[in-house]
Structures are given as structure tokens and as C-alpha cells.
Amino acid sequence: MEHVDTLITARWIVPVELVPVGTRSRVLDHHAIAIRQGRIVAIEPEAVARTRFSADQLIERPSHVLLPGLINAHTHAAMTLLRGAAESPALDHWLKAQVWPLEKRWVDAEYVRDGTELAIADMLTSGTTCFADMHLFPEVVAQTASSARIRACIGLPVIDQPTVWADSVDEYLSKGLQLHDDYRDDPLITTSLAPYAAHAVSDATLTRVRRAADEIDLPMTMHVNESHTQVVRNGERTLARLDRLGLLSPLLSAVHMVHLNQDDLDLASRSGLTVVHCPQSNLKLGNGVCPIRALRARGVNIALGTDGAASNNDLSLLDEMRTGALLETGVITWQMDGSLPMTAHDWLRAATLGGAQALGLSDSIGSLVPGKWADLCSIDLARPHSQPVYDPVVNIVHSISRDQVTDVWVAGRRLLADGRLTQMDPVDLMQRARGWQQRIAATRTDD
Ligand SMILES: [Zn+2]
């Protein structure tokens, strides 16, 4: 018999595959996944796996579906500390009158560590195994993610204004690229260049970001056309400007992309960029709905993000899949021209493989294939509101709740076991969150 570290049997396994839009991925009945040294060794029918492998640990999941771990392709993890603190329904007012003053007052290394830890607990307990972050003090985000053993792509912030973290574009870039070097060989932590938002960063800075990305083949991520006020700068549309500056490429994750015309859609399609769809944040801040079907019909890769907890207000990708799916059929359908709707399988693919592609990690995560990292989540469908099961992916997108996530593994390490975090103390996390709430509430102004 072959020896493996872990053998997990499950009622259903959904490997997630790259298939044409609207096509169902395979769902495997009564199969098992064998894991050795953090990687998937094989996926076999359970009876075959039990005779082929001896395992240090056998985990049986008889009423569960096993999926690739979800990939949150855009968040600001530390913003969990502002969950519910800024509730304006308009982006400009929310940012300028509520969020930025609080961040200016409170953001430091300790704030970022505590907020990021709270975010990681939020994400792991809703099936997320990898997140792409954008925040000041990225070295603290990296250190916190590494200690929690979750996978993360750390955004290296670049803006034209000085902040508590850096004084100049030179300093943002040098500190960021140093962080990139520090984690070059880390199996869990990668980096991307993160100029905050296309409309808010100068041509010169964006050009420097693009050169740095090209030199070391780093992905880039930024907010693009989140609100209608961000579409044109000095008479030039944002997508055309990014094209002129050479930033439209497969290395770019364009976050939000709510306001797009036909030319924008064509540029997105030709460039090979990824759109990171954040449906709940877009709804909550009154920005509208990303034309996801038009993008998908043009072959654009779609990933999903929660955005920060101050505009969502949680970090569950399960919710984003459902909201995205309902918006597409409820709002987008009547605007479109007969192109195929996204299925539940398409939404799951966006929340897994689509995110992996956005982060440049689709060779190593995002689907369940021998050789890839064993980043997995297990969801129990043995609940009245999740039965019967004709297709477990439909139930995952449309009928489950996050408390059905029982287990999460990252690189074969079990970070959530029977619903309990194995590497974090939720009581301590919540105590620290309450401490921040009391301090922040004392300085809040509700204007
Ligand atoms: Zn954001």
C-alpha cells in the first residue's frame, strides 16, 4: 500500500474544472482525496482509495461535499475592525467622511494585526483558504497570515500621498519590493502590486508600477470604475488610460469594474485581465452592478471578492456567490442579448479557479488536481434546508449557510476541524475586537 498523510472520504467531491461557460463541472460520488506533504496525491473512488492507500489520518465526511478552498480575490482584511462603524450608503461620503478619518486616527501595526486576524477567522470559517489583501502595513498582514497558516497574496500599496506607512512613491515601492523579496520562497505568501485605484494614482506612478510588475512578473491589483465618478479622468476613460500606460494585461486584477461601456468591455476582453466582482460591496455602497454576463460572454476571467468588512459586512465568499448569481438573473438578464447565464458551477469556478488565475496561482491552487496544494473545504449538506441534493453545487450557491463549513485545509494542514479553528483562539480575537470597538467608538463622528 502507498502511504499518505491524510485520506479524506466524502459523499461528493467537486474538483472544479475549466470548462466552457454554462457547462457543468464533474461531481464525483463517494470518492476520496489522498494528501502527502501538503499536496494532493490522488482522487479515487472511495473503495479504490481504501485499498490503495494507508494513511496516518482517515477523515470520513459521509454527508459532505469537498471543494477547492475558496479564494477571496479582493479584501482589506484589517477593515474588519470597522465592521458596522461606517454605514453611509454612498461611496464618496463613506470614504471621505467616515472611513478615512477613522483610519487616519487608528491605523498602525497593532490595528492591522488584530483586524487581519479577525478577518482570517471570518474567512476560514466560511471556507476561504486564500485571500488577496490591500492595506497599509502589508508586512504585518503577511506575518499575521503566515502565523495563521492561511494562504495570502499581499498587496503592496502604492499611492501618491504620504501615509503613516510611507512618505513617497519611492518609499512605497522600495518597502513593497523588500517585502516581496522577504517572502520569495514562502509556500503560502505571495505578493502583488496594489496601486490603490486607477482614477486616484498619477500616470507617472502607474507607469513605475507597471515597470516593476513587468520586471519581476508580479500581478497587479487596483480598484477600477467602482463608482460612476471614477470613469473619466482629464477627459480620458479609465480603461483607455490604463491601456495607454500599458497596464491592461493578464497580470492585472481590475476590482469592481461596475461602470463600463462597449469600448471598455472590448479592452478588458482583449487584454486578458481578470475582473474581481464584489457584488455585495457594490450594492451596499450604492455603486451599481458589474455587467458580469457581458464580460463573461467576451471570455474575461471572473474572480470574486468580498471587499472590506466595512462595506459588506462580512468576508464570506459563499454569500458573494449567491448574491452574484441572483443579481445576474434578477437584474442583468433583462439588459442582455441572449448570451448564456452563469450557472452555479460557473459561480463556484469564479470563487476558486478564477481567483487562482487572478493571483497567478492557477498552477498550484484553485482546483482539486493531483500535484496541486491540498487547499480544501468541506461543507455538510445534512441539514433540512440543504436537502434533497440533485446537484451539490446548486445547494452550495443557493441554499447553505456558512455554519455548514465543517473543515478547511491549507496545504494539507487542517485549520478548521469540525467547525473549530485549530490555530486561533476566537475568544481572544473577539475580546481584542471589542477593545478596538470601544476605542474607535469614542472617536467616531456621525456626519
Ligand atoms: Zn476594495
Residue 380 alpha carbon to ligand 1 centre in Å: 31
Question: What percent of the chain is modeled with pLDDT above 70?
Answer: 97
pLDDT band at 371 (very low <50, low <70, confident <90, very high): very high
Q: How confident is the model at residue 316 (pLDDT cuts 50, 70, 90)?
A: very high
Cα(374) to centroid of ligand 1, in Å? 28
Task: Tell me the pLDDT tens digit for each residue of 417-431.
Answer: 999 999 999 999 999
pLDDT of residue 355: 98
- Ligand 1 centroid to Cα of residue 245, in Å, is 22
Mean per-residue pLDDT of the chain: 95
pTM, full prediction: 0.97
- Considering only residues 353 and 88, tell me which one the structure prediction assigns the higher pLDDT: 353
pLDDT band for position 86 (cuts 50, 70, 90): confident
Ligand 1 centre to CA of 436 (Å) is 22
At residue 443, the pLDDT reads: 81
Q: Contact at 8 Å (CB) between 83 and 121?
A: no
CA of 75 to the centre of ligand 1 (A): 6
CB 408 within 8 A of CB 425: no
CB atoms within 10 A of CB 284: 19
What confidence score (pLDDT) does residue 205 get?
Answer: 97
Q: How many CA atoms lie within 13 A of 51 on its CB side?
A: 3
- pLDDT tens per residue across span 256-303: 999 999 999 999 999 999 999 999 999 999 999 999 999 998 999 999
Cα 410 to middle of ligand 1, angstroms: 24
Q: What is the mean pLDDT of residues 117-124?
A: 98
What grid cell was written down for 200? 486616484
Number of H helices, E strands in the chain: 16, 18
Residue 24 pLDDT: 76
Grid look-up 507607469 returns 207
Work out the number of other CB atoms within 10 angstroms of the CB of residue 211: 11
As a CATH number, domain 71-358 is 3.20.20.140
Overall average pLDDT of the 185-207 stretch: 96
Of residues 32, 38, 37, the one with CA closest to residue 15: 32
User: What CATH architecture applies to the domain 2-68+374-420?
Assistant: Roll (2.30)
- Mean pLDDT within 209-226: 96
308 Cα to the center of ligand 1, angstroms: 6
446 has pLDDT over 60: no
Compute, in angstroms, the gap from residue 134 CA to the centroid of ligand 1: 7
- pLDDT (0 to 100) of residue 398: 97
- What pLDDT score was predicted for residue 335? 55
pLDDT over 60 at 334, yes or no: no
**Distance from Cα 418 to the centre of ligand 1, integer Å:** 31
Q: How far is the CA of 249 from the centre of ligand 1 (A)?
A: 20
Gap from CA of 221 to ligand 1 centroid (Å): 10
Place of cell 488536481: 369
Residue 415, number of CB atoms within 10 A of its CB: 24
C-alpha 91 – ligand 1 centre gap (Å): 11
Distance 84 CA to ligand 1 centre (A): 16
**pLDDT tens-digit profile of 13-54?**
999 987 776 677 899 999 999 999 999 999 999 999 999 999
Question: 396 CA to middle of ligand 1, Å?
Answer: 25
Specify whether the CB–CB gap between 256 and 223 falls below 8 A: yes
CA of 187 to the centre of ligand 1 (A): 25
At 339 the pLDDT is 73
Tell me what pLDDT residue 340 has: 77
Q: What pLDDT, on a 0 to 100 scale, did the predictor assign at position 337?
A: 62
Give yes or no for residue 254 having a pLDDT over 80. yes
Estimate the crossing angle of helix 169-182 against helix 138-148, to 10 degrees.
20
CA 160 to centroid of ligand 1, rounded, Å: 17
Task: Determine the Cα–Cα distance for residues 424 and 20; give it in Å rounded to an integer.
Answer: 40
The alpha carbon of 385 and the centre of ligand 1 are apart by a number of angstroms equal to 33
Q: How far is the CA of 307 from the centre of ligand 1 (A)?
A: 5
pLDDT band of residue 333 (cuts 50, 70, 90) is low
15 C-alpha to ligand 1 centroid (Å): 29
CA of 276 to the centre of ligand 1 (A): 10
Find the 391 Cα to ligand 1 centroid distance in Å. Answer: 33
Q: 3-class SS at 401? A: coil
Q: Which amino acid is at 268?
A: A
- What is the Å distance from ligand 1's center to 386 Cα? 32
- The full set of domain ranges for the chain reads 2-68+374-420, 71-358
pLDDT in tens, 127-147: 999 999 999 999 999 999 999
* Mean pLDDT, residues 395-417: 98
Per 3-state DSSP, the chain is made up of helix, strand and coil in percentages (nearest 5) of: 40, 25, 35
